[in-house]
Amino acid sequence: MTKVYPIILTPTDTGYVVTVPDLDINTQGKDLAEAIYMARDAIGLWGISEEDDGRQIPEPSIIESEHESQELVSWVDIDFAKYRRANDMTTMRINVSVPKYLKVLGENAGINFSQELQERLKEKLKV
């Protein structure tokens, strides 16, 4: 599900500081495009970290945030599930069982069992 968070872009000598008031986080970028990209990345990373820690991600505000006259307000969309699929490459060790003959044949063929399992799971799960 896509959510849209308001952000405040504050101009600086080196670009823009980005504030995400709903999440109380900041980032920055050298220009508007990079600042908005960094905002989306910061929101995504913050959100999946919250989920991993068992906390709820707050709903975005539906009104424009208060800001100074020189600041810009924009909105950034984020799909947390899609962000996780694209960026969460944390590996986990699992124990799987295969018949001995497959293990021997695979090792002799130089097959990386972990890589093969990941590829087949992605194919099966259509991700």
My answer on whether 104 and 52 are in the same domain is: no
My answer on whether 82 and 95 are in the same domain is: no
pLDDT tens digits, one per residue of 2-55:
999 999 999 999 999 999 999 999 999 999 999 999 999 999 999 999 999 999
The pLDDT value recorded for residue 88 is: 78
My answer on whether 98 and 79 are in the same domain is: no
**Res. 89: pLDDT tops 80:** no
Q: Which residue has the higher pLDDT, 89 or 80?
A: 80
The pLDDT value recorded for residue 127 is: 79
My answer on whether 7 and 51 are in the same domain is: yes
d(CA 16, CA 87): 24
Determine what percent of the chain is predicted with pLDDT higher than 90: 80
My answer on whether 7 and 41 are in the same domain is: yes
Number of independent structural domains in the chain: 2
My answer on whether 11 and 33 are in the same domain is: yes
**In b/e form, how buried is each residue of 20-35, taking b as 16+ CB within 10 angstroms?**
bbbbebebbbeeeeeb
pTM of this prediction?
0.73
Is the Cβ–Cβ distance between 28 and 18 less than 8 Å? yes
Its domain, for residue 105, covers 91-127
The pLDDT value recorded for residue 93 is: 86
d(CA 105, CA 100): 9
**Secondary structure (3-state) at 53:** coil
My answer on whether 7 and 65 are in the same domain is: yes
